[in-house]
Structure 1
């Protein structure tokens, strides 16, 4: 991986948001070369600094999701703060806010306000449930959206609903809006017009889940070949000392399973002999595979099936992932020294771009760059001192 300016070099992004859905996306833009300013309040700032394992007041979670950003700490509700925000946004290419609908306008940073001085800005509005509608004023976090979007029910299957132990709606939202922003930036190059990118966590999660997890609710015709959700039978297979995922979808894969475990009877069973019957009896196929591997060591199962060119993986524990040979070879996780947190493991973007990936500045404490940014906006040293004395900036 070569270091370089990144494809978004020269793009200026301003973020007012906390936790994941917006900051995760601005971090991705920073990793592609964008200049990102994170605006934080004077009371707490982004609470993500406090969640999870931490050192010296900063969590590893925050250190990963906010690398590559500068921090400006100020009271944006004050008249002086509004003037600073207006100047800051006048020079921005992208502005991202994650307030509930109506709040940004009350603060003087709604789309119409920002476009008065910066008509071609890409304005991003992220909310829990959308601009209007029956839920628009409600607060939302990832857990709420996992429940509302059906993710928890899908995860629980026929049993009780269960959370996915990852912030899926937040992260899917961040990926969705960053893709839309890149499309909007491309369109602006051709049209000169700035777009308004709007999305909600609920829409992002439902759209993400719909094609596969809700597959049994897609085809509505009564005379269609309606089948149960294939994913309802997805499960890991228990081995003697762990678990594996096996997915023998082709006839060649199934023969590989039979050969790897000396089970010619699997090839003669009419339920599994061909791809069509295997799809129709998918749950029974998974149950049969479970019986085949139950008394075999996990790594032995993996080695046998890899040798037979069957799709297989060990169910790695979290403590195994960073040390896995494939993960280490790709460099998607690396160890770096953070000036506040110390030695940390940090993920890089999964997509590698030939032009290089910029070396990201470590995540900073709240307000680290306040003076420098205000100076760039034309405030004098005395003016900054007055703002600080008044508690408007920190």
Structure 2
């Protein structure tokens, strides 16, 4: 499956981003992959620290190279008077502005919603914070680990034992998906009404909302006479084979018969705990334990082959080094090898959604300040003014 090239459905939309790490930049990268022009504004001292985290080459991490592909970079002191003037002019041209400051900071810098909307009344203004605009935690700093703990993710992952982190930045990435979906809804509403919108969300709200329907299922139904059952996910686990692990999920009667046939276990079909879907749900943990016994002495790939032949939902638990070479992953092109001009050869993901009208070919993630002079020129600054701004240490152009 190869994605066709085209302008993307957000062609013509300009997004300005002031944020670091994942929650906001990951979302603006997604918008860029759908055709939006994204301008990343970074400070003069460090910029986005994500450049320095994880495997890197020539001062840029692979992590940054993936999450910031498709963006232009403006490096500027936005706290200076001249920097504020440039920001005001830039935001006057934007369709979307996303900032991830703690509440109150954007206002102190003169780029709060009211400030921006005075010059651009129809802008979609997105505010992302750790805990929200107000409330007892609103001024606290927050990163993904803090929200994994506060939202219950770590407790759910640990089950009855010690809380554990999910080894993926789930709150950050869920927030990315949530704010971009909300911004697209706001852009659609603006097409109909001409009205700009303020999209506000926190990492905590995004994580709790994401987790609530399934991970917190035992906390939902409050009536005393309800049929209260343990959380189904408490017994959710991978099964150990002779040389690896598999995920098996035989939810229907046909699936269960497939398991019995694949391993020549007719006794599974007459066991009253498992013979029908209702009892299997009631004895879910025992079903998983029994499946574990069935596959314990069988090679991983043999288990997978047998159950695929029986049309039972199954997967090998692939290691990270196995993902890029998996047959379906290679066929879909979701991971591809590209030659990055700074990092060198890298594996890069493409966003999962494809469009019949095509998606843009994203430019590589760039050095901080690569597009500073070009953007200033577009905003009407003369070469002499740009030179003065550089000399004063207000803007920086990458070499």
Q: TM-score range by the shorter chain?
A: over 0.9
Residue 322 in structure 1 maps to residue 320 in structure 2:
no
Deviation at 1:114, TM superposition (A): 0.2
Q: How far does the alpha carbon of each residue in 1:129-186 deviate from its partner, in whole angstroms, 9 at most, with x for none?
A: 0000000000000000000000000000001000000000000000000000000000
Deviation at 1:393, TM superposition (A): 0.4
- Of 63, 68, 74 in structure 1, the residue corresponding to residue 76 of structure 2 is 74
Q: Equivalent residue for 1:62?
A: 64
Deviation at 1:74, TM superposition (A): 0.4
Trace 1:239-250 onto structure 2 (pairs within 5 A): 239-250=241-252
- Of 180, 189, 196 in structure 1, the residue corresponding to residue 198 of structure 2 is 196
Alpha-carbon distance in structure 2 between the residues aligned to 1:237 and 1:341:
38
Alpha-carbon distance in structure 2 between the residues aligned to 1:156 and 1:322:
29
- Of 159, 162, 165 in structure 2, the residue corresponding to residue 160 of structure 1 is 162
Q: Equivalent residue for 2:219?
A: 217
In structure 2, runs of 5+ residues without a counterpart are none
Q: Equivalent residue for 2:307?
A: 305
Q: How far does the alpha carbon of each residue in 1:203-244 deviate from its partner, in whole angstroms, 9 at most, with x for none?
A: 000000000000000000000000000000000000000000
Q: Equivalent residue for 1:268?
A: 270
Alpha-carbon distance in structure 2 between the residues aligned to 1:245 and 1:217:
26
Alpha-carbon distance in structure 1 between the residues aligned to 2:339 and 2:184:
31
> What secondary structure sits across from 1:14 in the alignment?
strand
Matched positions, count: 394
Alpha-carbon distance in structure 2 between the residues aligned to 1:309 and 1:376:
58
Q: Equivalent residue for 2:38?
A: 36
Q: How far does the alpha carbon of each residue in 1:82-106 deviate from its partner, in whole angstroms, 9 at most, with x for none?
A: 0000000001000000000000000
> What secondary structure sits across from 2:125 in the alignment?
strand
Alpha-carbon distance in structure 2 between the residues aligned to 1:264 and 1:19:
53
Q: Equivalent residue for 2:53?
A: 51
Q: Equivalent residue for 1:293?
A: 295
CA RMSD of aligned residues (A): 0.3
Structure 1 residue ranges, 4+ long, deviating more than 3 angstroms after superposition: none
> What secondary structure sits across from 2:79 in the alignment?
coil
Q: Equivalent residue for 1:365?
A: 367
- Of 189, 211, 218 in structure 2, the residue corresponding to residue 187 of structure 1 is 189
Alpha-carbon distance in structure 1 between the residues aligned to 2:332 and 2:316:
18
Q: Equivalent residue for 2:232?
A: 230
Deviation at 1:338, TM superposition (A): 0.5
- Of 89, 113, 116 in structure 2, the residue corresponding to residue 114 of structure 1 is 116
Alpha-carbon distance in structure 2 between the residues aligned to 1:343 and 1:359:
17
> What secondary structure sits across from 2:23 in the alignment?
coil
Alpha-carbon distance in structure 1 between the residues aligned to 2:76 and 2:92:
17
Residue 338 in structure 1 maps to residue 340 in structure 2:
yes
TM-score scaled by length of structure 2 = 0.99
Q: How far does the alpha carbon of each residue in 1:348-374 deviate from its partner, in whole angstroms, 9 at most, with x for none?
A: 110111110100000000000000000
Alpha-carbon distance in structure 2 between the residues aligned to 1:165 and 1:194:
37
TM-score scaled by length of structure 1 = 1.00
Q: Equivalent residue for 2:17?
A: 15
> What secondary structure sits across from 2:127 in the alignment?
strand
Alpha-carbon distance in structure 2 between the residues aligned to 1:158 and 1:355:
49
Alpha-carbon distance in structure 2 between the residues aligned to 1:203 and 1:355:
34
> What secondary structure sits across from 1:386 in the alignment?
helix
Q: Equivalent residue for 1:101?
A: 103
In structure 1, runs of 5+ residues without a counterpart are none
> What secondary structure sits across from 1:22 in the alignment?
helix
Alpha-carbon distance in structure 2 between the residues aligned to 1:305 and 1:202:
39
